Homo-oligomer: A and B are copies of this chain.
Amino acid sequence: MQKKSRRARPSRTARKPAGPPRRNAFYAQSGGVSAVINASACGVIETAMKHPRHIGKLYAGRHGIIGALTEDLIDVSRESAATIRGLKTTPAGAFGSARFKLKGIEQNRAEYERLIEVFRAHDIGYFFYNGGNDSMDTALKVSQIGESLGYPITCVGVPKTVDNDLPITDCCPGFGSVAKYVAVSTREAALDVASMARTSTKVFVLEVMGRHAGWIAAAGGLAGLKPQDPPHLILFPEIPFEKQKFLDRVKQCVTDYGYCVIVVSEGAAYPDGKFLADAGTKDAFGHTQLGGVGPMVANMVREAHGYKYHWAVADYLQRAARHIASQVDVEHAYAVGKAAVELAVKGINAVMPTIVRKSSKPYRWTIGHAPLSEIANVEKKLPRNYITEDGFGITQECRRYLLPLIGGEAYPPYKDGLPDYVHIKGVPVKRKLTTDFKV
């Protein structure tokens, strides 16, 4: 009997097996999205369906935790198998994400009581939260409501952040693909600049994400193989920006190579900690400057040396670029989603699956897990030995770390020349509460 029910698909009418009671599960996407967060969703959903003894229905929050607070739940079982499979090749947050950080239980008990009210109404016993630093903090808080508010729940974080700044895990799903995008784009744009430099653009600046950690900027360094290859200079948040030293290096590059390619992290900052982008510059109407750090650095170079410049700001293009996703990253993303469910059905609470590197060359990895309490609110910056002594490049150690993460191409399917991304139907679960909740 038990064997049979293990193979049955989840259904509200299935007879409950012996053992821990079957309960429903909640999955939500949180924070800035990535090219592969939906691949994690796919891992969670497909694996949950393989555990009908423990997991009944799987509900997704529409726009993350907000969907839970407002009882706006999506019935994942109403999506076709093709749509679920298609999540693996679709960027951004198919269920909607949110930037919403729960306060501590002491500070805002009402939010937690509301969560419990919604969870109880829908018999939710599993909570999967797919996000980065802040999100793991939220997941940790939710994992504690069993103990502090008497509502039993198994809460597992699913790592996701293009910033690659979560501790313990070797890397974060989402990062490998943005790293690949930045490395590829830097290599391509650099070829363009090299072609034109004789009579036109001599300096090119690419602004990339990473407000506090330079992992994404470092990935730009993969574009070159030899010391003279572009990018010639990388500006990391971890290295205080020294204007004169930088300008001297730009001039040297143009003299030596005819051009200079610069990758700058949005988090590049002066020695006093002030962001370069926070230059306090105003436009003619007294409004704060429009540009980011990319145009600001390009302009700095032009003022000092008069070189013709171009700049690009990749912004969302870099983290949504599923068309050039890393195969390894997609596999990581799926694997942590799968592992999260497997941990949860074993009753392991307040953890997050991690990527464990077993070797770099050849690249071998496995999945581990770590307590949320050791992950929440800890930020992993680029180690100093990953940055060259002069502060403008990446070392061989860094290259050895990064290279496996951009490995392999995981092209999405195309239709009429465009990636054929899926859209969920998003059928809402019938509400059971009559109360509303303002977020």
User: Hey, which bits of chain A sit against chain B, CB under 8 A?
Assistant: 29, 32-33, 35, 63, 66, 90-94, 96-100, 180, 183-185, 187-189, 191-196, 198-200, 204, 206, 222-223, 279-285, 287, 289-292, 294-296, 298-299, 303, 310-317, 319-324, 326, 403, 406-409, 411, 414, 416-419, 421
B98 touches A204 (CB 8 A): no
A289 touches B287 (CB 8 A): no
Known: A191-B90, A321-B188. A417 touches B411 (CB 8 A): no
Known: A96-B198, A100-B199, A316-B204. A33 touches B192 (CB 8 A): yes
B321 touches A317 (CB 8 A): no
CB neighbours (8 Å) of A303 from chain B are 287
Known: A281-B283, A291-B291, A317-B312. A324 touches B323 (CB 8 A): yes
A183's partner among B32, B196, B310, B417 (CB-CB below 8 A) is: B417
Kindly state the separation between the CA atoms of A403 and B415 in the bound complex, as whole angstroms.
11
Kindly state the separation between the CA atoms of A194 and B100 in the bound complex, as whole angstroms.
16
Kindly state the separation between the CA atoms of A403 and B416 in the bound complex, as whole angstroms.
7
Known: A97-B195, A290-B290. A316 touches B187 (CB 8 A): no
Known: A196-B99, A314-B317, A417-B183. A188 touches B92 (CB 8 A): yes
B281 touches A285 (CB 8 A): yes
Q: Min CB distance, A210 to chain B, in Å?
A: 15
A311's partner among B63, B192, B313 (CB-CB below 8 A) is: B313
B187 touches A98 (CB 8 A): no
**In the complex, what residue of chain B is closest to A95 when comparing beta carbons?**
B195
Kindly state the separation between the CA atoms of A409 and B282 in the bound complex, as whole angstroms.
44
A199 touches B91 (CB 8 A): no
Kindly state the separation between the CA atoms of A314 and B33 in the bound complex, as whole angstroms.
20
Q: Min CB distance, A2 to chain B, in Å?
A: 40
Known: A314-B317, A418-B187. A196 touches B97 (CB 8 A): yes
B192 touches A319 (CB 8 A): yes
CB neighbours (8 Å) of A280 from chain B are 284
CB neighbours (8 Å) of A315 from chain B are 189, 310-312
B189 touches A316 (CB 8 A): yes
CB neighbours (8 Å) of A90 from chain B are 191
Counting chain B CB atoms within 10 Å of each CB, which of A29, A92, A223 scores highest? A92
CB neighbours (8 Å) of A33 from chain B are 192, 195-196
A195 touches B29 (CB 8 A): yes
